[in-house]
Copies of this chain bind each other. A is one copy, B any other.
Amino acid sequence: MLQNNQMNRQIVLAERPQGAPTSQNFKMESLPIPSPKEGELLLRTVFLSLDPYMRGRMNDAKSYADPVALGEVMVGGTVCRVVNSNCSGFNQGDWVLAYGGWQDYSISDGTGLVKLDPSIMPPSYALGVMGMPGLTAYMGLLDIGNPQPGETVVVAAATGAVGSLVGQIAKLKGCNVVGIAGGSEKCQYAEDELGFDRCIDHKTDDLFVQLANACPEGIDVYFENVGGQVFDSVLPLLNSCARIPLCGLISQYNATELPQGPDRMPLLMGSLLVKRIKMQGFIVFDDYAHRYEEFSQAMTSWLKDGKLKYREDIAQGLENAPEAFMGLLQGNNFGKLIVRVGEDELN
């Protein structure tokens, strides 16, 4: 159900998940629509971005950002329209990129808002190809990965918001690109539409063998966003001086304890040492916000020239955000997952 303009529906964190989130972890509440004070504006959410990092915010653990408190609105990037503005520089009807969270309406004092021009690009792109996932792909690949023409780049979640861009940018840089994705439909899309040289279904029984066959000269850049069994298959194939931008580890976000077995931490460190590999974690806005302009110009130009394809997977209605988010963590989405919370037009 899209917003009815009478109340502000919010999805709050009801309890912290143990393992995979369930619908019990979320609760929808309805409150009066807030009124902007002097210097503030009222935003109506049109699109809400759903991203894997939100799983970390549901934990009560120290991380690079504070957790969402129990009873608080789930955080998230939003594309909004300005309903009322008491803030200079913004007018009713403006499209803005905000961080309004999982709710119909939000109040802002203008800090961090970015105005969007819908005549240039669909505003929802600010949540994906032109926003955080796009900057993540661009900077992680180019700055940390530093791929050279002819090198082999591997990326998992190959049709996801970040992975699809990583692979396409790597192709633009002249690399051999091998994707890993869940299911034949996604793999077909990565090869036929995104132009990857190969895409391997991680649901296969012999991922390592298929990956080794797809990378006969080894792997020079592995853009890491999943971890787990995919990384297990990648590690032995890494070349000397390989680079691993460490962007996410979605396969382990729901884990409640470490797997049992031999402790492979020494194995990993030994591999990094002997092969002179760089593995580097990054948080895109902390590390690369200052290079947004460079990214934006490159991305806009590639999109305009038809060199980049971008696919959205749009869930309908704020009330469906929890289910869509739970699916994201299972790899059910096909493209950048967003939620349409409200209509485009102000009534």
Contact = CB atoms under 8 A, between A and B. Distances in A.
Interface in A296-321: none
Nearest to A253: B270
B278 A279 contact: yes
A259 B263 contact: yes
Interface string A257-279: 11111111111111011111111
A287 interface: yes
A114 B247 CA distance: 44
Contacts of A258: 262-264, 266-267
A19 interface: no
A227 B287 contact: no
Nearest to A240: B64
Contacts of A261: 260, 262-263
A121 interface: no
B266 A263 contact: no
Contacts of A240: 64
Copies in the complex: 2
Interface residues of A, number: 42
Interface in A155-170: none
A276 B269 contact: no
A63 to B, nearest CB: 5
B278 A278 contact: yes
A67 to B, nearest CB: 12
Given A263-B260, A278-B280, A246 B273 contact: yes
Q: Main SS of chain A's interface residues?
A: mixed
A252 interface: yes
Given A64-B240, A240-B64, A272 B279 contact: yes
Nearest to A286: B276
Nearest to A61: B274
Given A258-B266, A260-B262, A281 B277 contact: yes
A257 to B, nearest CB: 7
A214 B38 CA distance: 49
A249 interface: yes
A43 to B, nearest CB: 30
A346 interface: no
A274 B59 CA distance: 13
Nearest to A278: B280
B278 A63 contact: no
Contacts of A278: 278-281
Nearest to A259: B263
A282 B247 CA distance: 22
A283 interface: yes
A7 interface: no
26 contacts: A64-B275, A64-B276, A227-B266, A227-B269, A246-B272, A249-B266, A249-B270, A252-B270, A258-B262, A258-B267, A259-B263, A259-B266, A261-B262, A262-B263, A264-B264, A265-B267, A268-B268, A269-B279, A272-B279, A275-B281, A276-B282, A276-B286, A278-B278, A278-B279, A278-B280, A279-B279
Given A64-B240, A259-B266, 10 more contacts: A56-B274, A227-B266, A248-B273, A249-B270, A259-B263, A262-B263, A268-B268, A276-B281, A278-B279, A278-B281
Interface of A: 56, 63-64, 224, 227-228, 231, 240, 246-249, 252, 255, 257-270, 272-283, 286-287
